[in-house]
Amino acid sequence: MENTNNENYEKIDFLQAQEEVCKHLFAYADSLVLRSAIELRIADIIHSNGQPMSLSELASKLEAPSPNLSSLARIMRVLARKKIFTVNYEKLSLSPGDDEPGVALYGLTPTSKCLLHDQELSFAPIFLTFTHPVMVDGWFEIGRSIKEGGTPFELAHGAPLWEMTSKDANVNKLFIAGMTAASNTSLDAIISEYKDGFNGMEGTLVDVGGNVGKVVSSIVKAYPHIKGINFDLPPTIANAPQYPGVTHVGGDMFKEIPSADNVIIKSVLHDWGDEEALLILKKCQEAVAEKKGKVIIVDMVLHPDRHAMFDDASIALDLLMMVTFSAKERTEDEWKKLLNEAGFTHINFIPLHTSMSFSIIEVFN
């Protein structure tokens, strides 16, 4: 009898193990089905309608002459099951004894509202960027990179991402859209939660790797006593719009960063390994040395043993950095070690109430 019970427990354990493996096996399905809904702008269609919609109503708003209703129904079933959209059933007939479930009506949830395209804090561009085949292909080369060395992205494409963005306008547009949206999600927190730091600043603030200037221009708009300098590669600066109180400067952060009273560097250092990050930090230090200013790093601080909001996503983003750039996110201890090596003697961590465990790291001497 005891053997039979043991066998039953082993079978149950094995089934549970198989179930767990299946979750991982088909995890990509959830991401790619959601991607299809973003591409189809399903959330936007429901939002524009102002109320939940039936499948046929949704289909009629798609930019397609004869949409596949069966496939649409099946992806909406998955997305409702995952609570991306709500689903409720409306009876077409009020006849007694009518057991028909009625017509499914799909509505928005807080999650799907995050995916509306035409809003500043939309996650849609981020999702479309990081699930794009160009970005995903490198993940298939992780095993080879472990055995043979090299960056998985470069093994997949034969070139680093920066080279691809400089030569392929579509890849560049995709990447800028994703990065701009990612910046937007944390910008309000940076401006509001570091207000004492910005209020106490004088003179110039150079944003290193500032892309087209959204971050520094938003800071200058909120704190107009600060004079902004947006610093990035010349091809990026060439496409940057003009902002009041901001000067665009093209250059190479590995060679020289414009002299300023203070430096801000957001979501740049995680794109590089320690050797390159150390060089960038030393150039930042040189830029503020004359005025004895601060370097303000806005980046992720990893908590590998914590299970708070966004911690799992932060660990996944660390893998994305590994795959794309052979770079990494850093723990607090890793940040301290790197910053001490760069010569900074004062380090202050300020966690932000924003997505992906972002923090402000103040460093100065």
Instruction: Kindly report, residue by residue over 243-296, the tens digit of the pLDDT.
Output: 999 999 999 999 999 999 999 999 999 999 999 999 999 999 999 999 999 999
Give 49-93 pLDDT, tens digit per residue. Answer: 999 999 999 999 998 889 999 999 999 999 999 999 999 988 655
Question: Please, what is the average pLDDT of the chain?
Answer: 92
On the question of pLDDT at 147 being above 70, the answer is yes
On the question of pLDDT at 122 being above 70, the answer is yes
% residues pLDDT > 70 (the chain): 95
For residues 353 and 345, is the Cβ–Cβ distance under 8 A? Answer: no
CATH architecture of 185-364: 3-Layer(aba) Sandwich (3.40)
On the question of pLDDT at 235 being above 90, the answer is no
Query: Measured between alpha carbons, how far is 28 from 236 in angstroms, rounded to an integer?
Result: 33
For residues 269 and 297, is the Cβ–Cβ distance under 8 A? Answer: yes
Q: What number is the average pLDDT over the span 178-206?
A: 91
- The reported pLDDT for the residue numbered 352 is 93
Which structure tokens are listed for 37?
A: 């809904």
Q: Is residue 270 annotated as a catalytic residue, yes or no?
A: yes
State the Cα torsion 112-116-121-127 to the nearest 10°.
Answer: 70
Lowest mean pLDDT segment, chosen from 4-18, 146-160, 199-213, 288-302: 4-18
User: Which long-range contacts does 302-307 make (Cβ < 8 Å, 24+ apart)?
Assistant: 302/329, 302/330, 302/331, 302/334, 302/357, 303/331, 303/357, 304/331
Q: Binning pLDDT at 50, 70 and 90, where does residue 119 land? A: confident
Q: What is the residue extent of each domain of the chain? A: 1-92+100-114, 185-364
Query: Measured between alpha carbons, how far is 178 from 186 in angstroms, rounded to an integer?
Result: 13
On the question of pLDDT at 4 being above 70, the answer is no
On the question of pLDDT at 154 being above 90, the answer is yes
CATH number of 1-92+100-114: 1.10.10.10
For residues 203 and 260, is the Cβ–Cβ distance under 8 A? Answer: yes
Catalytic residue selected from 24, 270, 303, 346: 270
Nearest to 121 by CA among 48, 218, 199, 221: 218
